[in-house]
Amino acid sequence: MKFRSKHHCPETLSFKARLAVTALIPATLFLIFLSLYFISIFLIPLYERLYRGAAVIETPYIIFALIGALPIFALGIVAVIVAASTGRKFNPEKGSRLFKFQHLMFAAAIKTLLYLVPTAIITTTLLLLARGYWPCGKLYISDSFRQLYWVNDDRACFKPDHYINDNWPCKIVNGKDVCIQVDGR
Protein backbone atom coordinates (compact mmCIF):
# COMPACT_ATOMS: atom_id res chain seq x y z
CA MET A 1 0.00 0.00 0.00
CA LYS A 2 1.43 3.36 -1.03
CA PHE A 3 1.44 6.24 1.41
CA ARG A 4 -0.18 9.28 -0.09
CA SER A 5 0.12 12.70 1.44
CA LYS A 6 -2.98 14.86 1.63
CA HIS A 7 -0.81 17.63 0.15
CA HIS A 8 0.06 15.74 -3.02
CA CYS A 9 2.20 17.72 -5.44
CA PRO A 10 1.00 17.24 -9.04
CA GLU A 11 3.47 15.92 -11.58
CA THR A 12 2.98 18.92 -13.89
CA LEU A 13 3.11 22.50 -12.72
CA SER A 14 0.37 25.04 -13.29
CA PHE A 15 1.17 28.27 -15.09
CA LYS A 16 1.36 30.18 -11.79
CA ALA A 17 3.62 27.56 -10.25
CA ARG A 18 5.83 27.58 -13.32
CA LEU A 19 6.04 31.37 -13.13
CA ALA A 20 6.97 31.18 -9.44
CA VAL A 21 9.66 28.59 -10.19
CA THR A 22 11.01 30.82 -12.95
CA ALA A 23 11.27 33.66 -10.43
CA LEU A 24 13.40 31.38 -8.25
CA ILE A 25 16.16 31.26 -10.88
CA PRO A 26 17.50 34.78 -10.17
CA ALA A 27 16.93 34.27 -6.43
CA THR A 28 19.01 31.08 -6.46
CA LEU A 29 21.73 32.72 -8.55
CA PHE A 30 21.72 35.62 -6.07
CA LEU A 31 22.26 33.16 -3.19
CA ILE A 32 25.19 31.56 -5.01
CA PHE A 33 26.86 34.90 -5.74
CA LEU A 34 26.14 36.18 -2.23
CA SER A 35 27.74 33.08 -0.71
CA LEU A 36 30.80 33.42 -2.92
CA TYR A 37 30.98 37.11 -2.05
CA PHE A 38 30.87 36.41 1.71
CA ILE A 39 33.51 33.72 1.37
CA SER A 40 35.74 36.11 -0.60
CA ILE A 41 35.39 39.05 1.82
CA PHE A 42 35.52 37.12 5.10
CA LEU A 43 37.54 33.90 4.66
CA ILE A 44 40.21 34.80 2.12
CA PRO A 45 41.27 38.01 3.97
CA LEU A 46 41.49 35.99 7.20
CA TYR A 47 44.34 33.92 5.75
CA GLU A 48 45.97 37.02 4.23
CA ARG A 49 45.98 38.68 7.67
CA LEU A 50 47.37 35.53 9.23
CA TYR A 51 50.13 35.42 6.63
CA ARG A 52 51.02 39.10 7.22
CA GLY A 53 50.98 38.68 11.00
CA ALA A 54 48.31 41.30 11.72
CA ALA A 55 47.90 42.25 15.39
CA VAL A 56 44.18 41.40 15.34
CA ILE A 57 42.43 38.82 13.19
CA GLU A 58 38.65 38.61 13.00
CA THR A 59 37.57 34.99 12.52
CA PRO A 60 34.00 34.55 11.26
CA TYR A 61 33.53 30.83 11.92
CA ILE A 62 29.88 30.86 10.76
CA ILE A 63 30.98 31.76 7.21
CA PHE A 64 32.71 28.37 6.88
CA ALA A 65 29.23 26.79 6.68
CA LEU A 66 28.60 28.62 3.39
CA ILE A 67 31.14 26.31 1.77
CA GLY A 68 28.80 23.41 2.48
CA ALA A 69 25.80 25.29 1.10
CA LEU A 70 27.31 25.78 -2.35
CA PRO A 71 26.51 22.23 -3.64
CA ILE A 72 22.89 22.65 -2.50
CA PHE A 73 22.67 25.99 -4.31
CA ALA A 74 24.12 24.36 -7.46
CA LEU A 75 21.48 21.63 -7.24
CA GLY A 76 18.84 24.29 -6.61
CA ILE A 77 19.67 26.23 -9.76
CA VAL A 78 19.55 23.05 -11.87
CA ALA A 79 16.26 22.01 -10.26
CA VAL A 80 14.52 25.34 -10.87
CA ILE A 81 15.79 25.55 -14.46
CA VAL A 82 14.54 22.01 -15.19
CA ALA A 83 11.19 22.68 -13.50
CA ALA A 84 10.75 26.01 -15.28
CA SER A 85 11.70 24.68 -18.70
CA THR A 86 9.76 21.40 -18.59
CA GLY A 87 6.80 22.48 -16.50
CA ARG A 88 7.20 19.39 -14.30
CA LYS A 89 8.41 19.06 -10.75
CA PHE A 90 12.07 18.18 -10.36
CA ASN A 91 12.00 14.46 -9.65
CA PRO A 92 14.63 12.77 -11.83
CA GLU A 93 14.29 9.09 -12.64
CA LYS A 94 16.64 6.75 -10.87
CA GLY A 95 19.77 6.18 -12.92
CA SER A 96 19.43 9.32 -15.04
CA ARG A 97 22.12 12.00 -15.24
CA LEU A 98 20.01 14.41 -13.21
CA PHE A 99 19.48 11.78 -10.53
CA LYS A 100 23.22 11.15 -10.36
CA PHE A 101 23.87 14.91 -10.21
CA GLN A 102 21.27 15.30 -7.44
CA HIS A 103 22.82 12.45 -5.48
CA LEU A 104 26.33 13.87 -6.02
CA MET A 105 25.31 17.37 -4.81
CA PHE A 106 23.54 16.04 -1.70
CA ALA A 107 26.53 13.83 -0.90
CA ALA A 108 28.95 16.72 -1.52
CA ALA A 109 26.97 19.02 0.77
CA ILE A 110 26.76 16.48 3.57
CA LYS A 111 30.42 15.48 3.31
CA THR A 112 31.47 19.12 3.13
CA LEU A 113 29.47 20.02 6.23
CA LEU A 114 30.59 16.93 8.15
CA TYR A 115 34.24 16.73 7.11
CA LEU A 116 35.58 19.75 5.25
CA VAL A 117 34.02 22.58 7.28
CA PRO A 118 35.05 21.23 10.73
CA THR A 119 38.52 20.40 9.36
CA ALA A 120 38.89 23.93 7.97
CA ILE A 121 37.75 25.45 11.29
CA ILE A 122 40.12 23.26 13.32
CA THR A 123 43.02 23.87 10.92
CA THR A 124 42.44 27.62 11.01
CA THR A 125 42.31 27.59 14.81
CA LEU A 126 45.51 25.52 15.02
CA LEU A 127 47.24 27.85 12.54
CA LEU A 128 46.26 30.84 14.67
CA LEU A 129 47.57 29.15 17.81
CA ALA A 130 50.80 28.07 16.08
CA ARG A 131 51.41 31.66 14.91
CA GLY A 132 51.10 32.94 18.50
CA TYR A 133 47.52 34.22 18.48
CA TRP A 134 44.99 33.79 21.29
CA PRO A 135 41.29 34.61 21.44
CA CYS A 136 40.42 37.98 22.94
CA GLY A 137 36.98 37.96 24.53
CA LYS A 138 37.18 41.66 25.34
CA LEU A 139 36.98 42.63 21.66
CA TYR A 140 33.85 40.52 21.14
CA ILE A 141 30.85 42.51 19.92
CA SER A 142 27.95 41.55 22.19
CA ASP A 143 25.27 41.31 19.52
CA SER A 144 27.44 39.41 17.04
CA PHE A 145 27.54 35.62 17.02
CA ARG A 146 29.57 35.29 13.85
CA GLN A 147 33.05 36.46 14.80
CA LEU A 148 35.85 35.94 17.22
CA TYR A 149 38.88 38.19 17.50
CA TRP A 150 42.35 36.67 17.81
CA VAL A 151 45.30 38.82 18.92
CA ASN A 152 49.05 38.37 19.10
CA ASP A 153 49.77 41.48 21.19
CA ASP A 154 48.57 42.16 24.75
CA ARG A 155 47.94 45.82 23.90
CA ALA A 156 45.47 44.81 21.19
CA CYS A 157 43.17 43.04 23.65
CA PHE A 158 41.01 45.64 25.39
CA LYS A 159 37.35 46.46 26.05
CA PRO A 160 36.41 48.90 23.24
CA ASP A 161 34.29 51.97 23.90
CA HIS A 162 32.94 51.84 20.34
CA TYR A 163 33.64 50.47 16.86
CA ILE A 164 34.29 52.30 13.59
CA ASN A 165 34.59 51.37 9.91
CA ASP A 166 34.25 47.62 9.59
CA ASN A 167 34.17 46.66 13.30
CA TRP A 168 37.50 48.27 14.17
CA PRO A 169 37.62 48.48 17.99
CA CYS A 170 38.28 51.93 19.49
CA LYS A 171 39.01 53.21 22.98
CA ILE A 172 38.94 56.82 24.12
CA VAL A 173 42.31 57.72 25.67
CA ASN A 174 42.85 61.30 26.91
CA GLY A 175 39.84 62.46 24.89
CA LYS A 176 41.10 60.96 21.60
CA ASP A 177 39.99 57.85 19.75
CA VAL A 178 42.61 55.12 19.61
CA CYS A 179 41.55 52.43 17.14
CA ILE A 180 43.05 49.15 15.97
CA GLN A 181 42.90 48.54 12.26
CA VAL A 182 41.46 45.01 12.16
CA ASP A 183 41.97 44.51 8.43
CA GLY A 184 45.69 43.86 9.03
CA ARG A 185 47.00 46.65 6.81
In a domain, 141, yes or no: yes
Total number of domains in the chain? 1
The whole domain housing 88 covers 15-153
Give dist(CA 113, CA 119) in Å, integer: 10
Tens of pLDDT, residue by residue over 73-99, are 999 999 999 888 888 888 899 999 999
CA separation, residue 14 to residues 11, 69, 84, 105 (Å)? 10, 29, 11, 27
In a domain, 116, yes or no: yes
In a domain, 95, yes or no: yes
> What type of residue sits at position 150?
W
In a domain, 166, yes or no: no
Question: What's the whole-model pTM score?
Answer: 0.77
In a domain, 171, yes or no: no
What's the pLDDT at 42? 87
> Pairing mode, if any, of strands 148-151 and 134-135?
antiparallel
Residue 9, Cβ density class (10 Å: 0-12 exposed, 13-18 middle, ≥19 buried): exposed
Q: How many residues does the chain have?
A: 185
In a domain, 23, yes or no: yes
Per-residue pLDDT of the chain in tens (185 residues, 90 and over written 9): 454 555 555 577 788 888 888 888 899 899 999 999 999 988 898 999 899 888 888 888 889 999 999 999 999 999 999 888 888 888 899 999 999 999 999 999 999 999 999 999 999 999 999 999 999 888 776 665 567 889 998 888 888 888 887 677 888 888 888 887 776 55
In a domain, 167, yes or no: no
In a domain, 80, yes or no: yes
CB 171 within 8 A of CB 161: yes
